[in-house]
Amino acid sequence: MNPRFIGTPREKFSFFNTLLCLVKSLQGQCVTVDLRNDSYVCGLLLTVDGFMNLSFSTAVYCDPQGNEFFFENIFVQCRNIRYVHIPEHVSIINNIKNEVAKEVRNKPTGRAMDKSRKAKKAYNQHMQTVASLHRH
């Protein structure tokens, strides 16, 4: 799997400015997600996109009446998510730092950042924020 985050500018903004990077860091782990209709999904988190739509494999969907349904693959739209349970063994701060650092490491260089002073300034501010995370 390619560690580089690919998406629209809006998706990339969400990745760096919300806890989407934390959810994305859980890819490849078993996760439980509570849904807005009082049901939940447990399974292996395969992918997370920039809008926090989730894809699971070998998942169990439990409806509000307690019935369980097994799925080889299941897709959960972001608007249906109430909570994402973070496994106890996960270090939240370290996962966020690692996921953001992974994206910054793979940031393309060259003419893409030469577009405007505003883009350069925003990029430098983001880099300072990431550097301050590594100091703590």
Instruction: Find the length of the chain.
Output: 136
Residue 93 phi, psi dihedral angles, 5° rounding: -60, -45
Q: What is the pTM of this model?
A: 0.70
CA 76/CA 45 separation, integer angstroms? 11
User: Which domains occur in the chain, in start order?
Assistant: 26-88 (2.30.30.100)
Antiparallel, parallel or unpaired: β 54-62 and 30-35:
unpaired
Q: Which two tokens stand for residue 12?
A: 């990339």
pLDDT per residue over 49-107, tens digit each?
Answer: 988 999 999 999 999 999 999 999 999 999 999 999 999 999 988 998 888 888 777 66
